[in-house]
Amino acid sequence: MAFKLSHITDIDVLKSFSGPNLKALFSLSPEFTLPTGADGKTDFKKLVEVLLEPQKLPQKITSALYYIDALATPAGSDALQDAVAIHAPDLKIECKNTSCADCILQVWLSRPDLVKRVLAESSVESIQATDSFYGRDATGLKSVSKAKVKAIAEAMDRWFTSKLRGTGTEISRFDKMGTIWFVVRRGDAFRREAVINQKTKASESNFGYPEIHDILIYDPEFNELRIHANGVAIKKEYRRVFGLELFGDGDYFTLGKKFTLVPLLKKKGKAINHAGIPGILGSRLTRIEYPIGNAQKEMVCHSSDDIFASFAEREGGIDNSVSLSWSSIPQLSSATIKLDIGECDGLLIGERSVRIIPPNRALYKRDGALPLIEQFLIKNEFVLNRAEAADAESDS
């Protein structure tokens, strides 16, 4: 899979690695030898040239470089040291008088699983959109074994290979707030891009499979699979493989109805009530979309600092430029609510957007504010319980 190293393709950064650690990294594969000069010392200039095309290196070294480079920042080093303190307190590493990159490398050489975990956890916080799929049973699995994760990775790797996405699929699995998270590192469609050869300065073609990360969340309490990935076919395959490997049934996870916007239509402002949720300081509706119902499938969108205030102003007769009342809207297809969130885990969050798109899609950031956002959605009945979802499915 083609990717570029962003942090360690610098001579000064490479020189900051401990000599023995650097040799240990590139000794992961006997097929590669560190470039050296006439004096027998590492030729860092040549090493930079090698790292500019990491996909040409042996697979073990390529994989290690990917993870080390991704976390070779002050924030990444801090997060990894915190993880070591929690999950491997006996691990002996020295990060006080060394570079961020060398700190990451030290951990990788002893506990690569910790490096993968930290990178996976940091990547999931940036996701927003997920599609929800319910399992056939009301109760689900409380744990997923390493063997199951390996079987899922192998099955998805076969599928991606058959769809010309390359091989090398990896899955990092960890627990987060009562749910099980899977970060899938895979290749995208084969692509060509022009690169400049650092030796000849000529333009050359670079071919490869760009790296993509898909994120899946399994909630055992609701027996629900949430998928963050692009493409209908890919989501369908994830549903099939997870159902087959976890429950022995490729049709186990089905497209269910999880979200509803009926409370907004019926209760208006009372449907965005944040009272009783410590940590949420305010809430307002800022955007809605709804169908007109004509043959052209026309959609109308309203965007405002406060939708309910805008409608109240218009319905009060102050602004008659648009003759529309809230009660005249037959159905909402999406709604965006902005929540003013205070401090979570010692960090001031600020305003967060939550977009709800029935029947099974929601967009909001999955960081420390996640429990508050989900509590708000459940409290205001935007989330259907499984019985309601089943009734809605049978009515459709």
168 has pLDDT over 70 = yes
Which of the four pLDDT bands, split at 50, 70 and 90, describes residue 3? low
Map out the domains of the chain as residue ranges: 11-124, 129-255, 262-395
Give the number of other CB atoms < 10 A from CB of residue 237: 18
Q: What is the pLDDT of residue 396?
A: 43
How many Å separate Cα 12 from the centre of its chain? 32
Mean pLDDT of the chain: 85
pLDDT at 393 over 60: no
Which tokens in the block code for residue 135?
């399992």
Phi, psi of 391 (to 5 degrees): -65, -40
For residue 395, is pLDDT > 50?
A: no
Residue pair 214/184 in contact (Cβ under 8 Å)? The answer is yes
Q: Estimate to the nearest angstrom the gap between the alpha carbon of 365 and the chain centroid.
A: 9
pLDDT digits (tens, 9 = 90+) for 253-270: 988 789 999 999 999 999
Helices (H), 27-93: 44-51, 59-71, 74-87
pLDDT above 70 covers a percentage of the chain that reads 87
Buried b (16+ CB within 10 A) or exposed e, 285-301: bbbbbbeeeeeeeeeee
Look at residue 189 and tell me whether its pLDDT is greater than 90: no
Tokens of 116: 């993968």
H or E segment at 387?
A: helix 386-395
**Residue 357 pLDDT:** 94
Residue 138 has pLDDT above 60, yes or no: yes
Write the pLDDT tens digit of every residue in 304-334. Answer: 999 999 888 877 654 444 557 888 888 999 9
Give whole-number Cα distances, 290 to 29, 265, 355, 363, in Å.
Answer: 58, 11, 14, 18
pLDDT tens, 53-84?
887 888 888 888 888 998 988 888 888 998 89
Burial tier of 354 (Cβ tally within 10 Å: 0-12, 13-18, 19+)? buried
